[in-house]
Amino acid sequence: MTAGLGVVYVAVSAIAPLFLKTTPSDLDLYFWPSAETLVSAHPLLTYAGHVHGLYQNDNGPLGLVPLLPAVALANALGWAGSLAGRAALTGAVVSLVVLLLAYQTVQLVTSARGGLHWRLAVACTVLLAPALWIGVLDYGHVEQPVELCFALLAITCFLGMHNALTGIALGAAVLARTIAGFCVIPLLLVPLATRRFRSSTMIAVAGVITVAVVMAPFVLADEPAVTHSLLTYRPGLPIGGGSFWVLFRQTSWAGLIRTGDVYVGAAVALALAALALRNRPTVASTHAGLAGLLTIAACCFPVFAKSVFPYYLLEPYVFSILWWLARPGTALNWRAVVPLMLTIDVFIVKAASTSPFSAWGEAASVLSSAVIAVAITMVTIDLLRSPAPSLRADDRHLEHLSPSLPLVQEAT
């Protein structure tokens, strides 16, 4: 039955674009041309195609991997020039990555709870997420499922005390989507909070080496284009809709917002994670606690980004699902409100992006930021109020998270 449902999911993902794909998206403007370059005779020049445009493919090459078979098949079938045709092939391939992401989510929840009887329901929270479908089908951001697969792998490795593998997985996530750098913040802070400086160093070094090894050939082949695409072009982008910053786009200090929005978000994520760990150093000894920290960090990007799109909410949504479900007892509790709020916000942001500078667009943008801020507040308060976990024999693999107290799964 599970295999059959998977086949249906792949089929729907391939068929839907044939009817719904009518206008070019980021898939057609940036990702597909970059993937075409990768499969051509000049794979290291993938960042050279959009140097003079307003927007760039500002992610690492790993996020393009699912597109490579789709591009090769589209070229063979003569569909490369068809918006719907190449979107259908892309949807079929990316759906396999999404199925893997759903499987990882189910496995993490099962591991946290010690068993799970409603695996399909948990999988559907990922498979049917509006942020996912809008992100892939409407905006063409095929790299997000890849990024999240590596992020969930990093969580698994971290809880298993595999520091080098955690760093490699985080580096791979960043190579798929640069915003995954927000996930690095809590995973580096947690060992520091429990005075495991060597673990934090190992994670950081492994992550940096992973990124350096993959990106070095691209930098050597075309350093100006890589630097511009991944590092220097973003400050030149205008303030758009979906964020409260839209109210300040005409101010004299709007340039500071354009330049520093990501840094402000990262600083707030760092401060909130540090606050939670200072008050509850062992909060990340549980799946739910660690997912809560990641939810907060991931939310800090869309709440402070100068322009927000619906797919920006996918990362915080997936982490909030884990924070909600990765604890014993019934799933019918108040924590379900957070992923529900983030889902509703997907449509608020979508509405705001249609007319960002109108009165309605500005109101929707402010409302969107407020919704995410409330979600951050709820998760933060939950982490600050989390009781000390109780010891269970089957959770002794988590003892390394505290130098003085063996800690395990969080109680409800």
Q: What's the pLDDT tens digit per position in 103-118?
A: 999 999 999 999 888 9
Instruction: Say how many CA atoms lie within 13 Å of 19 toward its Cβ.
Output: 5
Q: pLDDT for 291-332, tens place per residue?
A: 999 999 999 999 999 999 999 999 999 999 999 999 888 898
Lowest mean pLDDT among 50-54, 95-99, 330-334: 50-54
Q: pLDDT for 188-240, tens place per residue?
A: 999 998 889 999 999 999 999 999 999 999 999 999 889 888 888 887 788 98
The mean pLDDT of the chain is: 89
* Per-residue pLDDT, 129: 97
Regarding predicted confidence, which is higher, 403 or 371? 371
Phi, psi angle pair for 238, to nearest 5°: -80, 165
Across 64-123, the runs of DSSP E, i.e. the strands, are none
* Per-residue pLDDT, 261: 93
Q: What is the mean pLDDT of residues 259-286?
A: 93
Regarding predicted confidence, which is higher, 387 or 66? 66
Q: What is the mean pLDDT of residues 18-46?
A: 88
Regarding predicted confidence, which is higher, 216 or 407? 216
**Above 50 in pLDDT, residue 75?**
yes
Q: pLDDT for 351-397, tens place per residue?
A: 998 888 899 999 999 999 999 999 999 999 999 987 755 544 334 44
Q: What span, in angstroms and rounded, lies between the C-alpha atoms of 320 and 317?
A: 5
Nearest CA among 256, 206, 239 for reference residue 305: 239
**Above 80 in pLDDT, residue 163?**
yes
* Per-residue pLDDT, 194: 86
> What does the block give as tokens for 248?
């300040």
* Per-residue pLDDT, 233: 82
Q: What span, in angstroms and rounded, lies between the C-alpha atoms of 130 and 184?
A: 25
- Integer CA distances (angstroms), 141 to 220, 299, 338, in order: 27, 18, 24
Residue 1 banded pLDDT, cuts 50, 70, 90:
low
**Above 70 in pLDDT, residue 411?**
no
Q: Which residues of 123-138 are buried (b: 16+ CB within 10 A; e: fewer)?
A: bebbbebbbbbbbbbb
**Above 70 in pLDDT, residue 54?**
no
**Above 80 in pLDDT, residue 55?**
no
Q: What span, in angstroms and rounded, lies between the C-alpha atoms of 57 and 207?
A: 21
* Per-residue pLDDT, 115: 87
Provide the 8-state DSSP code for 395: G
